[in-house]
């Protein structure tokens, strides 16, 4: 069955018929005559998927807009639904709600560019000055870390870029897990960070006098310590828990003996276009590199390198072989030392994956990270290498889960002292 085009992935869903019965409390509950079907697949980043037709006909489109209970359909889950149609008059599910969950509970997909924290509360994470009040307070309170961030060699350091990223996405994850606690006057969440005595740090908010956003940042504090910490302890019991990321053992444990695949064409060409390779590596293996042309028009220049490489079979083969050798060396390193694998969280697709150390220019120096996703095929574990990250980008995503304990993914090694 053809998938919806990009123009039809946000349909206006029309309801045909919904049979519900009102309970004494006034809530609507599904009755036996209401349809239910299993999710065949659902693309969370595209917001649509298909249900297996219970009548045996064509699969039924299910869109995020047609789900009313806030869950995100996952393969194998069963949903109640009413039959409707989209604006192209194709059958689709409307008023859908979860009947039976999949093996893993549905988790809402996260927007990579989420502004959810800022829509919920006023919090001064950014400032025209050297730093902001909220960030400077949190950095001073938390166990000392290097929070600097520079995504590419052409960019200046942001001394607290990783910390801003961390708070923004941690809030989004917590909210979807139901761990942001609100009261009549105050609200709080667990930042997942600790102070120098390893006591958890909480973000404390108070009602905003303005209509939007509903809350405003008050402080970062440790429960029971200082006036703010005492206020937190008096107001919230129990205190909220930190975000959790590991849904099953496959998210945490990397099996070096499992089958391994990699999409080399995507890893090479897409990685070059997205500026994810060391420039000295491109200079050696991709026909040269001009810093002047790169700074003049980065996007166009990198696309030109990728196109040039794709049209030169001998040069492309040489680079692919070097990358394959680097991936093989990384797998051997992981087999020897399990700590060489670093788990990371990818907010855009709400997925856990792994980072493997890649040595491109010199076997003794790690200069990139390979993103590897675990999958199950007929119950058997295997891995797929998807893309390559520069080390700074890899560290930013890995830090959402925990501070990496690694001999290769370390800010001091990546950015210099």
Q: Give per-residue pLDDT as tens, 125-145.
A: 875 555 588 999 999 999 998
Confidence label for 306 from pLDDT (cuts 50, 70 and 90): very high
Helices (H) and strands (E) in the chain, counts: 12, 18
What is the domain count for the chain? 3
Confidence label for 1 from pLDDT (cuts 50, 70 and 90): very low
- 243 domain-assigned: no
pTM (two decimals): 0.65
Helix (H), strand (E) at residue 384: strand 380-389
- How confident is the model over 387-403, as a mean pLDDT? 89
Q: What angle do CA 18, 19, 25 make, to 5 degrees?
A: 110
- 111 domain-assigned: no
* Cβ neighbours, 10 Å, residue 183: 11
pLDDT of residue 103: 54
Domain identity same for 124 and 65: no
Cα gap 408→365, rounded to integer Å = 9
Domain identity same for 170 and 318: no
CB 138 within 8 A of CB 219: no
Does 192 score more than 50 pLDDT? Answer: yes
- The DSSP secondary-structure symbol of 138 reads H
Cα gap 29→23, rounded to integer Å = 7
Which domain does 300 fall in, by range? 250-415
Query: Which range is least confidently modeled, 10-14, 276-280, 341-345, 372-376?
Result: 10-14
**Mean pLDDT: which of 52-61, 108-117, 269-278 is highest?**
269-278
- Distances, alpha carbon 390 to alpha carbons 178, 295, 321, 397, in Å: 33, 18, 20, 11
Task: Give 189-249 as a DSSP string.
Answer: EEEEEE-TT-PEEEEEEEE-SSSSSSEEEEEEEETTSHHHHHHHHHH-SSPPPPP----SG
Cα gap 410→150, rounded to integer Å = 13
- The DSSP secondary-structure symbol of 104 reads S
Q: How much of the chain, in percent, has pLDDT values that exceed 90?
A: 41
- 71 domain-assigned: yes
- 150 domain-assigned: yes
Of 192, 208, 235, which residue is a domain's last? Answer: 235
pLDDT of residue 129: 53
Domain identity same for 143 and 29: no
pLDDT of residue 68: 86
Q: Any bridge partners for residue 375, and if so which?
A: 382
Of 100, 131, 148, which residue is a domain's last? Answer: 100
CATH code of 42's domain: 2.40.50.140
- 56 domain-assigned: yes
Does 219 score more than 80 pLDDT? Answer: yes
Nearest Cα to 330, choosing from 360, 296, 293, 308?
A: 360
pLDDT of residue 253: 84
Domain identity same for 96 and 215: no
Cα gap 242→177, rounded to integer Å = 10
Residue in this structure with the two tokens 């703010």, named with its chain if needed: 228
Domain identity same for 294 and 348: yes
**79-93: per-residue pLDDT in tens?**
999 988 887 778 899
């Amino acid at each position: 069955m053809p998938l919806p085009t990009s123009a039809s992935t946000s349909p206006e869903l029309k309801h045909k018929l919904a049979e519900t019965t009102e309970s004494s409390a006034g809530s609507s509950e599904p009755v036996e005559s209401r349809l239910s079907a299993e999710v065949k697949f659902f693309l969370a980043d595209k917001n649509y998927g298909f249900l297996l037709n219970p009548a045996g006909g064509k699969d039924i489109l299910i869109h995020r807009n047609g789900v009313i209970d806030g869950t995100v359909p996952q393969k194998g889950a069963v949903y109640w639904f009413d039959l409707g149609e989209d604006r192209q008059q194709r059958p689709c599910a409307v008023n859908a709600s979860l009947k039976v969950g999949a093996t893993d509970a549905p988790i809402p997909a996260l927007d990579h560019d989420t502004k959810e924290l800022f829509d919920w509360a006023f919090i001064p994470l950014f400032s025209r000055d050297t730093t902001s009040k909220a960030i400077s307070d949190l950095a001073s309170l938390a166990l000392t870390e290097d929070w600097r961030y520079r995504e590419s060699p052409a960019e200046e350091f942001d001394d607290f870029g990783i910390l801003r990223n961390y708070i923004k996405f941690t809030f989004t994850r917590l909210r979807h897990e139901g761990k942001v606690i609100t009261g009549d006057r105050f609200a709080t969440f667990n930042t997942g960070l600790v102070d120098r005595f390893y006591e958890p740090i909480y973000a404390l908010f108070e009602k905003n006098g303005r209509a939007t956003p509903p809350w405003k940042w008050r402080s970062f504090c440790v429960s029971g310590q200082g006036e703010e910490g005492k206020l937190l302890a008096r107001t919230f019991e129990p205190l909220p828990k930190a975000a959790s990321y590991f849904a099953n053992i496959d998210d945490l444990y990397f099996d070096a003996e499992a089958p391994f695949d990699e999409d080399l064409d995507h890893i090479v060409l897409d990685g070059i276009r997205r500026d994810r390779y060391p420039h000295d590596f491109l200079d050696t293996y991709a026909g040269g590199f001009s810093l002047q042309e790169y700074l003049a028009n980065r996007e166009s220049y990198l696309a030109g390198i990728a196109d040039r490489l794709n049209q030169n079979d001998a040069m492309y083969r040489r680079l692919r072989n070097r990358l394959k050798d680097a991936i093989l060396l990384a797998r051997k390193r992981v087999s020897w030392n399990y700590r060489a694998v670093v788990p990371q969280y990818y907010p855009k697709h709400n997925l856990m994956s792994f980072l493997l150390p890649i040595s491109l220019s010199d076997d003794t120096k790690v200069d990139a990270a390979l993103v590897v996703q675990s999958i199950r095929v007929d119950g058997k574990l295997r891995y797929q290498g998807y893309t390559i990250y520069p080390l700074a980008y890899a560290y930013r995503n890995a830090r959402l889960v925990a501070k990496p304990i690694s001999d290769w993914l370390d800010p001091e090694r990546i950015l210099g002292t």
